[in-house]
Structure 1
Amino acid sequence: MPGAVPRDAAFFDDLYRTHADPWGYRQAAEQSKYHLTLRAARRWQPRPRRVLDVGCSLGYLTEMLADYAPRVSAFDISPTAIRMTQDRCAARRTSTAFDIQLGDALAPAYPRGHFDVVFAGDVLLGAFDGAERAVRAVRALLPLLSANGVLIATDFMNPTAQQSYVNLVETAGGRIREALYFNDRYWFRLKTALKSRRDSAWGQRLLCSPRVFQFLAHRAARRGPAGSKHFGLVVQPVA
């Protein structure tokens, strides 16, 4: 789990104002996570009408959703992140209608049953300091789902915390339909090993290389659940 940080709107907004890509979203492991997450969404909801990206950050996933749904909503607590997501999506040539606004996962401003898919990437553990607030967020998001809609939640964690993540979602009233493994354990080991070189042009080429990631992901997949540092769940409300 991430270390204890002051995860409030001012913290995140300052981060986005001072760092062009604070989470390394352009890197191969993150891009692969987006594609695998979207692939899972298509399995459960092949033709959604409306989807929601919770905590959209810089809008990388939000933009990709233009190929998936005719109406895409997204929110974040950072005004800077919202502006960057709006600019990214405005530059996309698409007939998809985007609605991108400030918002809070603990009090999302949408009607019940409004979305066929809700994405919560690195939100439950990444944005909140404790399990209690994460449970509140899941309880706030599940009612937004239409009949047969799904919440897809992903977070970065040690593999030993995967069961705790399942327990958290179930405590909040979620029914687990599928577990998602991203096979990125060895890629993150590479990132750690690079240390000071990771921000160099050479380091960035290595970390952004799909070939390097796929090679390491193939090895990590042999570890089963232990091969993933990102873990995800496809969730529906308990009937």
Structure 2
Amino acid sequence: MPSLPTTYFDDVYRASNDPWSFETSPYEKAKYEATLAALSKNHYRNAFEIGCSIGVLSEMLTQRCDKLLAVDASELPLETARKRLAAYPQVTIRQMAIPNEFPDQQFDLILLSEVGYYLVLDDLKRARQLMIDHLEIGGHLLLVHWTPFVHDYPLTGDQVHEQFMEAAGEGKPLTHLSGQRTDKYRLDLFSRDQ
């Protein structure tokens, strides 16, 4: 199975403007609140959100970031995100498919939320290295993923997080700062120390 292509997400968003109910779901609202609460710094200079979809979490992040680059593989949800975030001049929205595309700048926060399991293992490893390479020393990397098995996703949320755990520890580029698990999702915060 290859990584899920952009056309997969185009089809999902053609069927619904908000296919995962980001705007209305109590589960998503609680997860977003937990995501923001997990960030151990109150403020970030330059953040990168991978998989912003229609921009619900992006809008919440604007209160914590001087600059935010929000990207998604599909252009369709970005139309909604641009409208939602039009009042926030610090936000840049771009179509970008990770890991084949990656911004050429450094960030003090990278957020990978509900995206990693769309990639096959080799692509996830490439994405992980790109994130590490573009994370400032002392910067934070936050992962949040649904953990139940989904038949058409190449990986599970736990498999995604374990790949990043392998890059954490003594002599490795990442330090695991905190983690939590609910019955539906897992959240892990890392920092880059070298």
Q: Taking structure 1 as reference, are residues 98 and 175 closer, same or farther at Cα in structure 2, changes over 3 Å only?
A: same
Q: Which residue is equivalent to 1:115?
A: 107
2:48 aligns with one of 52, 55, 76 = 52
What displacement does 1:110 show? 2.4
Are the equivalent residues in 1 in contact too, given 2:124–2:160 (CA < 8 A)?
no
Distance 1:146 1:19, change over 3 A: same
| Letter in structure 2 aligned against 1:124 | G
Q: What SS does the aligned partner of 1:139 have? A: helix
Identical pairs, percent: 21
| 1:33 paired residue number | 31
Does 1 or 2 have the higher relative contact order (CA < 8 Å, sep 6+)?
A: 1
1:154 paired with 2:149, answer no
| Cα deviation code 1:9-58 (max 9, x no counterpart) | 111012112202111212011111111111111x1x22211111101111
Q: Which runs of 5+ in 2 are unaligned?
A: 150-155, 168-172
Q: Is the alpha carbon distance of 1:83 and 1:176 closer, same or farther for their aligned partners in structure 2, counting shifts above 3 Å?
A: same
Letter in 1 for 2:175: R
| 1:99 counterpart letter in structure 2 | T
What corresponds to 1:225 in structure 2? none
Instruction: Tell me the secondary structure at the aligned position of residue 85 of structure 2.
Output: helix
Please identify the structure whose Cα radius of gyration is greater.
1
Match of 2:164 in 1: 169
C-alpha spacing 1:236/1:6, structure 2 compared with 1 (3 Å) = closer
Measured after TM superposition, the shift of residue 175 of structure 1 is 3.1
CA distance in 2, matches of 1:31, 1:100: 22
Show the counterpart of 1:198. Answer: none
Structure-2-length-normalised TM-score: 0.83
Q: Distance in 1 between matches of 2:159 and 2:114?
A: 15
Aligned counterparts of 1:163 and 1:155: Cα–Cα separation in 2: 8
TM-score normalised to structure 1 length: 0.68
Write the deviation string for residues 70-125 of structure 1: whole angstroms up to 9, x where unpaired: 211111110112221111111x4x5x51100011220443234x211111101111
1:79 maps to a residue whose letter is E
Q: 1:115 to 1:80 in 2, by over 3 A?
A: same
Whole-angstrom distance in 1 between the partners of 2:116 and 2:76: 21
CA contact under 8 A between 1:142 and 1:236: conserved in structure 2? no
Find the residue that maps to 1:150 and give its secondary structure.
Answer: strand
Distance, in Å, in 2 between the alignment partners of 1:6 and 1:70 is 32
Q: Per-residue deviation at 1:163?
A: 6.1
Instruction: Tell whether 2:67 aligns with 1:75.
Output: no
Q: Which has the higher strand share?
A: 2
Note the 1:6-25 alignment, pairs <5 A. 7-25=4-22
Instruction: Give the residue type in structure 2 aligned to 1:122.
Output: E
* Equivalent pair of 2:138/2:193 in contact (CA under 8 Å): no
Aligned to 2:81: 85
Q: Is this contact kept in 1: 2:146–2:157, CA < 8 A?
A: no
Give the length in aligned residue pairs.
182
Q: Are residues 1:232 and 2:187 paired?
A: yes
Asked if structure 1 preserves the Cα contact closer than 8 Å seen for 2:145 and 2:157, the reply is no
